[in-house]
Amino acid sequence: MALDFKVLQKVKGNPSTEVAADRRLKINPGQDYAYDMPKELIYTINHQFPLESLFNQEGETNEDFLIKQGKTFMNLLIREADSDAFRDRTADMIECVAQQTGIRFPHVFERYVELGILNLRPRDAWTVTEATTKTLKVRNFNCSIGKMFAEKGLDNCHIFCQAANQVAAEKAGLNLKMSSSKGLDGNGLCEQVFRIPQAGG
C-alpha cells in the first residue's frame, strides 16, 4: 500500500535528478529522422515473398510447409528491416531503450510483428489492444491471410503466423508463450496474444 504517511516518509530523492548515469537522452540539434515504415520495404518484401508463397505448387498448406514459409518470411523481413536501407529511427530508439532498461518486451519483438503485418497485408485493419511488459495483444479485424485460407476451406493459417513470430521472438532474445484465437466464420477476425512466461508457471 503506497498511500500511507509512513511509506512516503521513507521515500528520498529529487525527481529531477538523473535516475542513472548517462540515462538522460538529449536532442541532437538539426537532425531530421524518419520514424515510420517506408513503402519501399513493402515492395522489396513482396518481390521476394509474394502472398501466394503461402501455398505450394500443388496448392497445399501442410504444417511443415507453413512453418518453413513463416520462418522464411520473418528472416527475410528482419534482414531487410534492419538493413541500412530500411532501418528507421523508431528501431534505433527501441533498441537504445532496451539497452538502457534491460526490458526487451514488448517493443523489440512487437516491432517485427507489426512490420510483418504491414508488409504482408498493408491494407488490413488491425490494432494493438495491450502492450505491457508482460503481455502483448494484437487484434486483426479483417486478416487477408485468414480470409484467403477460409476461401480455400482451410483454417491453419495461424501456423504460418506462429512460425514467423517465433523467429521474431528469437531475434528479440525472448522466450514467449503465444496463442491466437480466430473468428469461426472466416471473417478475418483474429487476436494474437504473446506473454512472458511467469516463474513457476
Partner 1 sequence: MCWVCEKYGNGEKWYLNPENYARRLYKVRKEGREASGADADPQAAGMGAGVVAELVKARISGDLKWEEEIKRDALEHAYQTHFGQVVTLDEYLQILDIAYPLVKMTCGCRRVQRGMPDEENFTCMGIGPGMYKWERWPETYRGGVEFLTPEEAKQWAMMNHKEGRVQTVDVFGTPYIGGLCQCEYPGCVAVRNRLDYDFKFLLKGHTVAKVDREKCTGCKSCLGRCQFKSLNLEVYTNKAYVDMDQCFGCGLCITACPSGAIELLDRESLPGLAENW
Q: Which residues bind partner 1 (CB under 8 A)?
A: 1-5, 7-8, 11-16, 18-20, 23-29, 31-39, 42, 89-90, 93-94, 96-97, 100-103, 106-107, 110-111, 114-115, 118, 122, 126-133, 135, 137
- The pair phi, psi for residue 31, each rounded to 5°, is -80, 135
- Minimum distance, C-beta of residue 84 to partner 1, in the bound complex (Å): 16
Nearer to partner 1, 38 or 197 (CB): 38
CA–CA distance, 187 with 135 (Å, rounded to integer): 25
- Minimum distance, C-beta of residue 164 to partner 1, in the bound complex (Å): 16
Rounded-to-10 torsion of CA 47, 52, 54, 55: -140
Nearer to partner 1, 122 or 197 (CB): 122
Nearer to partner 1, 122 or 156 (CB): 122
Taking phi over 0 as left and psi of -120 to 50 as alpha, with beta for the rest, 13 belongs to left
- Minimum distance, C-beta of residue 59 to partner 1, in the bound complex (Å): 30
Contact 184/178 with Cβ under 8 angstroms? no
Cell triple for residue 145?
491471410
- Minimum distance, C-beta of residue 31 to partner 1, in the bound complex (Å): 7
At residue 74, the 3 state secondary structure works out as helix
Nearer to partner 1, 55 or 191 (CB): 191
Nearer to partner 1, 62 or 129 (CB): 129
What 8-state DSSP symbol labels residue 194?
Answer: E
- Minimum distance, C-beta of residue 137 to partner 1, in the bound complex (Å): 8
Nearer to partner 1, 79 or 89 (CB): 89
Q: Which residues of 63-84 are buried (b: 16+ CB within 10 A; e: fewer)?
A: eebbbebbbbbbebbbebbbee
Determine how many CB atoms are found less than 10 A away from the CB of residue 187. 14
- Minimum distance, C-beta of residue 190 to partner 1, in the bound complex (Å): 16
